[in-house]
């Protein structure tokens, strides 16, 4: 396609513009840059977290005497755990909630090995630790939603080079998640089907946007991609809750995530990126059987300007079909 096209996401209801005519080829927006600069080991706060003032780990996984993955409280949290629940209160026309919750870091041992370069065992361990800590946080009756995400590179918000991941337990359901939950519920109510399962079937049938698929998961460039080279990874089996996924299913998803990040690195000149997990809220779980947990990957390729900020309509100058063609994992 060369002419612009508006597309609406069937889940969120958001409109986006696919505008490939604004550039010649997908390669044209890939900026060549200097090789990623590695931060020195000396002075790294995560090389020995407890010696640099971080608290004792909630979870620690070892190989012999040395740790490999650990989870501990963020030294500078935006939310703090207390023995009371946060309450919504009003101030004039505004609603407010206190800063009660949890903010944890998941840190891997190797200073230079980011997620796509972890061994299969270690990558699976990161997600198993996510799940283990998630279940621990789920015992807190004050928590409504747990956000799990990874920032890689300065432009993606990573202030420390050493690979680390974050878990923030919130007393509210975030607006993007609320939109996704609400949209998938409306689709399910109208069509008696999971909207994400329908997306998966459609992508499997057409194949043009699928970049990788294994027995238990699939990775593709969404038809309604908000940003250039956006990717999403879904477990094939319908499952609303990340915390309920089986160990074997989690391995399929982790494999697809590693493959997807490696192809971004190889074909997009090692971009900074964010990936995050969208899952159902942890409270009132019976309400969310229609949802389908998944992972979203957003490379830091473009910058939102006046139109995007003023309208909430993102402009994507790369056709998702062409993005998938460039990123497809070679077997």
28 pLDDT higher than 70? no
- Mean pLDDT to the nearest integer, 26-45: 79
Q: For residue 331, how many other CB atoms are within 10 A of its CB?
A: 4
What SS3 string covers 275-305?
A: EEEECCCCCCHHHHCCCCCEEEEEECCCCCC
The pLDDT value given to residue 107: 98
User: Of all residues in the chain, what percent carry a pLDDT higher than 90?
Assistant: 84
Give the burial string for 208-221 (b: 16+ CB within 10 Å, else e).
bbbbbbeebbbbbb
Whether the Cβ atoms of residue 224 and residue 7 lie closer than 8 Å to each other: yes
Domains parsed from the chain with CATH numbers: 5-24+46-327 (3.30.428.10)
Give 92-130 pLDDT, tens digit per residue: 999 999 899 999 999 999 999 999 999 999 999 999 999
57 pLDDT higher than 70? yes
């Amino acid at each position: 396609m060369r002419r612009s096209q508006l597309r609406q996401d069937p889940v969120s209801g958001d409109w986006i513009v696919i505008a490939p005519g604004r550039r010649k080829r997908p390669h044209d927006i890939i900026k060549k840059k200097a090789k990623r600069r590695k931060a020195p080991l000396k002075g790294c706060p995560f090389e020995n977290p407890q010696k640099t003032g971080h608290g004792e780990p909630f979870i620690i996984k070892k190989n012999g005497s040395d740790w490999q993955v650990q989870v501990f409280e963020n030294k500078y949290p935006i939310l703090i755990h207390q023995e009371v629940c946060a309450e919504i209160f009003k101030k004039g026309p505004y609603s407010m909630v206190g800063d009660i919750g949890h903010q944890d870091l998941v840190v891997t041992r190797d200073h230079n090995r980011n997620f796509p370069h972890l061994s299969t065992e270690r990558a699976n361990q990161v997600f198993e630790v996510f799940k283990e800590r998630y279940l621990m946080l789920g015992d807190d009756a004050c928590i409504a939603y747990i956000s799990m995400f990874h920032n890689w590179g300065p432009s993606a918000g990573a202030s420390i080079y050493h690979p680390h991941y974050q878990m923030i337990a919130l007393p509210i359901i975030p607006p993007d998640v609320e939109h996704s939950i609400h949209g998938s519920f409306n689709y399910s109510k109208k069509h008696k089907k999971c909207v994400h399962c329908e997306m998966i079937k459609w992508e499997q049938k057409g194949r043009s946007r699928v970049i990788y698929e294994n027995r238990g998961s699939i990775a593709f460039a969404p038809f309604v991609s908000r940003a250039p080279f956006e990717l999403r990874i879904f477990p094939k089996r319908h499952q609303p809750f990340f915390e309920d996924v089986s160990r074997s299913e989690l391995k399929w998803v982790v494999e697809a995530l590693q493959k997807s990040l490696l192809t971004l690195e190889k074909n997009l000149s090692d971009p900074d990126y964010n990936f995050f997990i969208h899952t159902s809220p942890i409270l009132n779980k019976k309400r969310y059987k229609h949802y389908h947990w998944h992972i979203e990957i957003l490379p830091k390729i473009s910058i939102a300007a006046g139109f995007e900020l003023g309208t909430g309509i993102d402009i994507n100058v790369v056709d998702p079909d062409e993005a998938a063609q460039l990123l497809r994992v070679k077997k």
